[in-house]
Structure formats: C-alpha cells, structure tokens
Amino acid sequence: MVKDHLAEANELFRSGLNCSQAIVAVFSEEHGFPAETAIKIAYPFGRGMGGCGHTCGTLTGAMMVIGMKYGTADRYEPDKMKLAREKTRRLFELFEAEHGTTLCNDLTGFDQRKLNGPELMAMLPHFHSTCRKFLETVVTFLEEEL
C-alpha cells in the first residue's frame, strides 16, 4: 500500500501539529529519522519561524526533509550538497510562483506575532482551511523530487 503523505499531513495538522511538524512527520521515518524526534526539531518552525510570520512552516519542514534525504555532514560531498541546494531553490521558486509569497503572515492574512492563546485558538479553523493548499504544494513537490 502506498502512503498517502498529503492525507496524513493534513490529519496531523488538523490534530494539533503545526505545519512544519506535519511535513516532517510524514516523511521522517522513510529517511531514517524517528518521527517523534523530527516533530520535536520542527516545532519552532511553525507559524512562520517561531510564530513570527516569516517563512511558511510547510517550506521549512520541506527543507528539513530535503536535508534528511540529501544533506551531508561531510563537507567533501559537494554533489550531494549542490543537489540539496538546487531542490530547495526549486521548491521556493515553485511555491512563490504558485502562492505569490513564502511569508506566513502574507499567506494567512494575519500577523502571527499577535496571535496567542484564545486569539490563536479562534483562528485555527481559518489556518486549517487556508494552509491546506500550502501543505499540498509542498507534499506534492517532495513526492516528485525525493
């Protein structure tokens, strides 16, 4: 049976993981990383890098997945390093062409820094609806490029 990355990412996102966590969670074990560890590492990247509204968490999650597949701790693997950079650039170009920006605040229409506690909880249905298309763009890219 083929894993449905998009359905799983959407389910994880709706169940309480942030966008970055949902992306890494569905790809991590395929690339040799325990999902629980990957989810912890991805936590600060949700809502635009620590809730600051900067780079979309789906993108930062995807970058971590690209690193899981093509990253290297050995600086003597220039071909692998080049491939990781190229894939990341292609992802950003595709995302920006499709959605107009890579910034969470612009994509969601809210200043993430001002949403905490009850305000954030009230906005969850909006994010679950709005961010689905960003999850789809990123998951589709990863499925095609990995």
Q: What does pTM read for this prediction?
A: 0.94
The mean pLDDT of 7-30, rounded to a whole number, is 97
- Tokens 């600051």 sit on residue: 52
- Phi and psi torsions of 103, nearest 5°: -90, 125
Q: What is the pLDDT of residues 27-46, one digit of tens each?
A: 999 999 999 999 999 999 99
Residue that is written with structure tokens 């169940």 in the block = 15
* pLDDT score of 98: 98
User: What are the tens digits of pLDDT across the range 82-117?
Assistant: 999 999 999 999 999 999 999 999 999 999 999 888
Report H helices in 5-131. 5-14, 19-28, 35-42, 57-70, 78-99, 104-108, 117-130
